[in-house]
Structure 1
């Protein structure tokens, strides 16, 4: 009976979470449709407004129009607001409003927060929410101050503070929108801007639960298994991605001849960080080597940490499956890490997530390969790259998004939505699961595998 109650509760929460994101997208569409949301002389079709609102809410950054040129300051601020709420979760702002009004947070609201942030215990909701809000303000205002040291001398006080604020928020939220017109390619020779951006991206993608563990380590003298697995997987992916990209790009030969090795190294490191759902670039993605694109697609598929501003299947899912594979190869029954054993439910859920994600992306790639035009010099990777970028809420593109057909835009929007809300949440909200307990268990019989 308890299991049935949990299933019904999760289905209800899933529907509410999906509805919340849909409402947020609708509000974004209304605001972006206002005449003063676009720059003078520009007009926006409904499908492009919907696409932009979805991309911002799902903190993806894929754009069908140039954000810097097409939208007015008001429109750009709407996109920034949608990205902020989409990254931290609308429930975070609901709780913040309750605290400001000094109203008690109800049980249903706490359950929504618990589901949104992937918390284990309901008692953690209030303390974690304080960390979510506090860390977000700290990193974003800190990023604003650090970037202002570079941007204010370049652009003046007004413009400098504006781009510093915009870039700080979008970097921390792991959204790929920019107000420069070409992402941050103009700053690829400025290691200071690149390093600050990388710190903000990693801070947003690491997850609020992990940050809480790190900040409380001096008191507890320990980290949770989730944090240890997250840190190990994240560091491993950064290092492996960096090394592979150094090899595949041959120390970034596409940069102008004479570029110092330090600048090449910093740009390569940034190239290994941004696929973790950030979407900002310092060089044209379409000019990268085929091997580099393959590495980036793998990183986009994995994504960041649960309970963070990142998308993808998540680092913990990848980590669990890696240790499960190692255990199977060694002939071990239990999947162990750091003197702990992963539950079979954990492993089954990770396998199901990867399987469902693969099915969704396969279907999307098949449809887009029929509806979209692939330019000369590219193959199926032109479509697959965009699919992975949308599902991982990354925002990187080989150039397909601005030329998408209406069907293509709908497919990419669905991928961005599923990637942000979560594939389990999306499917459970749309389906009617069978909650009846099956008391019959059939005999076991094996089939040939491999």
Structure 2
């Protein structure tokens, strides 16, 4: 007699699949989750940009256009292979700016927003992911802190859009002007450099107030949410963390130093564009702020001196502050290396700043980040030289500039990106992806590194250096 077998119901099957997904999600490391989450955002963005409603049908459009643009927007870079203003419809431009918003604040911030909106408490794993994204030292009050961060970000962008609106409404009418104001407020705060103005921000080269508003939004985004939290809570605590002190010092120094150096290297630009001394100073200040992190530009790089291009590469490589919308190796990394060099030259064992001693792990992490990033940039530049180096128009400086711009998510271009081969575009997309997710996160995702305490130590022996 055959035995009757009870097959699982659809409800039971759905529950089983849900448990399997949870099991997979629990089995992967925190960096792997962050990497997969970011890839998911790019995938959804690519699919949306492939829809006929996203682009003008009279323009040639293919998969790589959508994938490259989605990667650039989600990584808040701003490099493009097609013109954002003319290739994409309003719907496509809305998709791009939403990807910029998600990329700028981080998809984990939107998870925090979801938890807050549904009045649910974040579990430990979600808090750990937020801590990983924003380099938090502790898990204390993670949900409320980042609910606060999102509110602050939205307020800054609304104020920025309101300040830009009168100028853009005057130039483009109510409907387009208001949309342009919102788009560029989000783009500037996100340090993405995407523009849908007919000629980019060069349309406002003679309106310093517009450039000043954009510059303030760029600085607000590149400072980092943790620095903003310290500044806004200063009235309560009456103190700033060491991180905020170093970040503010380095940011101010880079803006001022960049301003002085750009004034020297581009002293002829003001005469070429018939700018008054005040307008020229505003434009140079905007260059110092935007070129390092955002990628908005008022001048064509064809007009600029080689010294300006080299200075721009250096500033892009440094980038913004950790936990911000900007890329690069970060201002605090440079600060730590300067402090370490100063201590070594003075024969001091401890690296100190603002009456505090920096832990050895900070110095090792800074050195590792610089070394690995330089190896990564050299490797990508070498690959691009192989695939694109046959061109007589684009030399070594074009390759290095484009790779650093992509890795630092700065978005500036010497004009090479639209002419890259498919392989070249994939290389730039890899640089943008790793630049935004973080080189540590990607390395640990691939290697699945787990810190282990050593049970023994080998004998010490010196080698000759230099």
Q: What displacement does 1:40 show?
A: 3.4
Between the aligned partners of 1:40 and 1:129, the Cα distance in structure 2 is: 41
Pair 1:284 & 2:279 matched: no
**Structure (1 or 2) with the larger CA radius of gyration:** 2
Single out whichever of 287-296 and 17-26 deviates more from structure 2: 287-296
Once the two structures are superposed, residues 356-381 of structure 1 have per-residue CA deviations (whole angstroms, 9 ceiling, x without a partner) of 00000000111111211476576311
Q: What displacement does 1:112 show?
A: 0.9
Say if 1:131 and 1:208, in contact at 8 Å, map to a contact too: no
Single out whichever of 370-379 and 154-163 deviates more from structure 2: 370-379
Partner residue, 1:264? 280
Say if 1:128 and 1:209, in contact at 8 Å, map to a contact too: no
How many residues align? The count is 441
Q: What displacement does 1:386 show?
A: 0.4
Q: What displacement does 1:447 show?
A: 0.8
Partner residue, 1:3? none
Pair 1:215 & 2:237 matched: no
Once the two structures are superposed, residues 123-155 of structure 1 have per-residue CA deviations (whole angstroms, 9 ceiling, x without a partner) of 141232033112111110001100012111221
| RMSD after superposition | 1.6
SS in 2 for 1:123: coil
Single out whichever of 234-243 and 175-184 deviates more from structure 2: 175-184
Partner residue, 2:14? none
Q: What displacement does 1:263 show?
A: 1.1
Among 110, 113, 120, the alignment partner of 2:130 is: 113
Partner residue, 2:79? 62
Say if 1:38 and 1:75, in contact at 8 Å, map to a contact too: yes
Between the aligned partners of 1:374 and 1:99, the Cα distance in structure 2 is: 54
Against the structure 1 CA distance between its residues 262 and 418, is the aligned structure 2 distance closer, same or farther, given a 3 Å change threshold? same
Partner residue, 1:6? none
Once the two structures are superposed, residues 206-248 of structure 1 have per-residue CA deviations (whole angstroms, 9 ceiling, x without a partner) of 0111011111111111100000000000000111111111111
Partner residue, 1:395? 411
Among 117, 140, 157, the alignment partner of 1:140 is: 157
Say if 1:67 and 1:178, in contact at 8 Å, map to a contact too: yes
Partner residue, 1:232? 249
Pair 1:38 & 2:55 matched: yes
Between the aligned partners of 2:237 and 2:119, the Cα distance in structure 1 is: 30
Pair 1:173 & 2:190 matched: yes
SS in 2 for 1:119: coil
Say if 2:165 and 2:178, in contact at 8 Å, map to a contact too: yes
SS in 2 for 1:122: coil
Say if 2:402 and 2:414, in contact at 8 Å, map to a contact too: yes
Q: What displacement does 1:401 show?
A: 0.4
Between the aligned partners of 1:290 and 1:203, the Cα distance in structure 2 is: 30
Among 332, 347, 354, the alignment partner of 1:331 is: 347
Between the aligned partners of 1:105 and 1:435, the Cα distance in structure 2 is: 25
Could you state the TM-score of these two structures normalised by the residue count of structure 2?
0.92
Partner residue, 2:20? none
Among 27, 40, 45, the alignment partner of 1:23 is: 40
Say if 1:84 and 1:169, in contact at 8 Å, map to a contact too: yes
Q: What displacement does 1:89 show?
A: 0.6
Say if 2:247 and 2:331, in contact at 8 Å, map to a contact too: yes
Among 150, 153, 171, the alignment partner of 2:170 is: 153
Between the aligned partners of 2:108 and 2:448, the Cα distance in structure 1 is: 25
Partner residue, 1:4? none
Q: What displacement does 1:48 show?
A: 1.7
Pair 1:78 & 2:95 matched: yes
Say if 1:113 and 1:125, in contact at 8 Å, map to a contact too: yes
Q: What displacement does 1:418 show?
A: 0.4
Against the structure 1 CA distance between its residues 433 and 389, is the aligned structure 2 distance closer, same or farther, given a 3 Å change threshold? same
Gaps of 5+ in 2: 1-25
Partner residue, 1:87? 104
Could you state the TM-score of these two structures normalised by the residue count of structure 1?
0.95
Say if 1:275 and 1:396, in contact at 8 Å, map to a contact too: yes
Once the two structures are superposed, residues 54-96 of structure 1 have per-residue CA deviations (whole angstroms, 9 ceiling, x without a partner) of 0010000000000010000000000000110011011111111
Once the two structures are superposed, residues 20-68 of structure 1 have per-residue CA deviations (whole angstroms, 9 ceiling, x without a partner) of 0000000001100101100131232112211111001000000000001
Q: What displacement does 1:11 show?
A: 7.4
